[in-house]
Amino acid sequence: MAKRTSPVSATATDDASAVACRPDHTDPGHYTAHAIDRAFKANLARLTNGISPAGVAGITFNWLAHLAVSPGKQIELAEKYNRKFARLWQYSLHNAINPDSAPCIDPLPTDKRFAGAAWQKWPWNVMSQSFLLTQQWWHNATTDVDGLSDEDEKVMSFILRQILDHAAPSNFIATNPEILAATLEQGGMNLVRGLEHLAEDAQLMLAGKKPAGAENFKVGRDVAVTPGKVVYRNHLIELIQYAPTTPKVYAEPVLIVPAWIMKYYILDLSAHNSLVKYLVDQGHTVFMVSWRNPTSDDRDLGMEDYRTLGVMAALDAVSAIVPNRKIHAVGYCLGGTLMSIAAAAMARDGDDRLASLTSFATQIDFTEAGELMYFVRESEVSYLESMMWDQGFLDGYQMAGAFQILRSNDLIWSRLAQEYLLGERQEMNDLMAWNADLTRMPYKMHSEYLRGLFLDNNLAAGRHMVDGTPVNLADIRLPVFAVGTVKDHVAPWRSVYKITFHPATDVTFVLTSGGHNAGIVSEPGHPHRSFQISTKKAGDRYVDPDNWQQTTPHHEGSWWPEWQKWLATGSNGQVAPPAIGNSARGYAVLEDAPGSYVHQQ
C-alpha cells in the first residue's frame, strides 16, 4: 500500500516546487533574454509607430474567440447584413428614378468626407452609402459581444474603424468624384502638384525639419514675441518674466506651467491671440515656464524631477522676485496635472504660497481618459517602454502619430487627399506651426506618467508619492478654475470635469467650444466661440456632467475675460509693477524672452 502524504508535507512540497519554478532574476541569462526582448521590441516599435502588434493581435483573438462561441450574435449579424444589403439595393433603385430620394444612412455629424455636392449623385452616393453601412455593420460586429469586456469592445471597434477609414472611397482617385473632377479639369496637374508636395514633405521629414510653411512663423520673430526676460535657468526650465504694460498691476503674480509635451508658446502665439499678452495688458504680472527639450542624456529624469526642478524651482523664483505675495498657479494639460500634484503636496506640508489654482484641459482622474487609453494598456506601455529604453526618450513624431490616429479622418486621410491628390496645400497658421514644433519625453518620466497616472490612477486614488509620502488632492483648499473643451480628444471634458468632485473648495468650471488647443487659444473677438460657466461651492451637491451641460447657460465669445475677472477678484488690489528679476537674491536677468530652451530641436 502506498504511503499516504500528510497535508502539511504536501503543502511544503508544493511550495518548494513553486519556488523552484519561479524565474531567477539574479541569473545572468535572465537579463540577457530581457535585453534581447527589449532591443527587438524597440526596433519593431519604430516600424509600427509604437503600436504593439502583440496587443492588437491579443485583442483581435479575444474578440474573435468570443464571437465564435456566440451563435446568436452571428445570426444577428447575418440578419443585419442582409437587411443592410436590401436597404442599399432599394436605395439604389429609388435613386435611379428619383435622384433626390433620402439616403438610407446619414454619416456622423463630425464626418464631412461625403458632404460635397458631387457625392450626392449616382454612382458616388451609392458608393458612400455602401461604405457607411459597412462601417455601421462592423461597429455592430465589435460591440455587444457576450463575454467581451466594454474596454476590449471599444478598442476592437477603434481598430476596425482605423482600417475602414484607410479604405474609405474618399481616399482614392478612382472612387472620389471631387478628385476625379479636379484631375479632368486640370489635366492631371493636381496630381503633379501632389507629387511635388509629397516629395517636399518627405525631404523635410528625412532632414528632421518642420513642415512646409512653418518657416513663416519663426519663434521670437513671428510667435512668442511678448516682451520679457529670462530670469532663471536650471537644467530643466527657463523662467520668463514678462514686462508690464500698465502703470499698476494686480498684487498677486501669475505663474503658468505648460505641458512639456509641447513648447510653451502655445500661450504666446501671435499678438492677437496670445494669452500672455492678454493677461499682461489686463494688469497681471506673468511668469512662464519654458521647458528644456530632453535628449537621451535626460533619460532618468522622473516626475519628481519635473516637480522639484520645474514647479517648485519656479515658485521659489517668483517668490523671490515678488516677495510676500501669494501666487496664482496655472497649469495646462500635463502641466496642470503636475501643478495639482505640487499644490496637494504644498497643502500637505503647510506651504501656503498659492492664491489659487487654474487648470486648462487637465486631468487628475484618468478613469475616463477617452480614446487615448487605447494606447495605454499593459501591452502598449511595455512596448513603448522598450522603445524609450533604447532611445532614452519618446520622440515627438511618435507621440504626434498616436494623437493623429485619434482623429485620423481630419488629421491624416483628409489632409493626404487634399494635399497629395487634389494638390492643394493647407494654409499654415501660427497654431499649426506651433503644433509642428515637436518635443520629446524622457524615458523615466513618461514611463512613470503612463503607469502611475494612466494605468494605475494613483493620483486620484491617493497613492501618488511625493517625498516618500502620498498626496491627496482633497487637501487643496484653494479656489479652483478649470477649463474643459468640447472637442478635446486628449483630455475629454467629462474627465476634466472630475475636478468638481472636490468637496472642500470652490470650483469654477468652464466648458468652451473647440478642441484641446484651439479651445484654450480662444481670444476675445475670435468668431464662432462660446462657453458655459458655473461655480460649485464647497459643500454643494454634485451635478453629473451631462446634466451640467444641459442646464448651464451658454455665452457667446471668449472665456478669457471671465477668467481674468476671476483672477482679479482673488487679488488684493493693484500695486506698482515689480522689477524684472532680483539679482540680489540670485535671479538676475539672463537674456531676452523667449530664451534659449524654446529653440531646442
Q: What is the per-residue pLDDT for 401?
A: 63
- Averaged over successive runs of 10 residues, the pLDDT of the chain (601 residues) comes to 40 42 55 78 74 86 96 97 94 85 87 91 93 96 94 90 92 95 96 95 87 93 97 98 98 97 95 97 98 95 97 98 97 97 97 98 91 78 80 76 68 87 92 91 92 92 95 96 95 96 93 95 94 95 96 97 97 97 97 97 86
Those residues whose C-beta lies under 8 Å from the C-beta of residue 522, and which sit 6 or more positions away, are 512, 513, 514, 529, 531, 558, 559, 560
pLDDT digits (tens, 9 = 90+) for 450-495: 899 988 999 999 999 999 999 999 999 999 999 999 999 889 999 9
Q: What is the per-residue pLDDT for 406?
A: 67
Q: Tell me how far CA of residue 442 lies from CA of 312, 491, 492, in angstroms.
A: 19, 21, 25
For the chain, the average pLDDT equals 90
Q: What is the per-residue pLDDT for 28?
A: 62
Length of the chain: 601
Q: Tell me how far apart the alpha carbons of residues 44 and 29 are, in angstroms, rounded to a whole number.
A: 23
Q: Tell me how far apart the alpha carbons of residues 274 and 166 are, in angstroms, rounded to a whole number.
A: 37
Q: What is the 3-state secondary structure (H, E, C) of 256-311?
A: EECCCCCCHHHHCCCHHHCHHHHHHHCCCCEEEEEECCCCHHHCCCCHHHHHHHHH
Q: Tell me how far apart the alpha carbons of residues 20 and 22 are, in angstroms, rounded to a whole number.
A: 6
21 as an active site residue: the answer is: no
Q: What is the per-residue pLDDT for 100?
A: 81
Q: Tell me how far CA of residue 120 lies from CA of 95, 98, 440, in angstroms.
A: 10, 12, 45
Q: What is the per-residue pLDDT for 247?
A: 98
Q: Of 333, 453, 491, 510, which residue is the catalytic one?
A: 333
Q: What is the per-residue pLDDT for 2?
A: 41
Q: Which domains does the chain have, with CATH numbers?
A: 228-367+457-599 (3.40.50.1820)
Concatenated DSSP letters for 93-136?
HHHHH-TTPPPS-PPPTT--TT-SGGGGSTTHHHHHHHHHHHHH
Q: Is the peptide bond before 211 cis (omega within 30 degrees of 0)?
A: no
Burial class of residue 526 (count of CB atoms within 10 Å of its CB; 0-12, 13-18, 19+): middle
Q: What is the per-residue pLDDT for 395?
A: 79
Q: What is the per-residue pLDDT for 77?
A: 97
Pairing of strands 441-442, 393-394: antiparallel
The three grid cell numbers given for residue 146, joined into one nine-digit string: 457576450
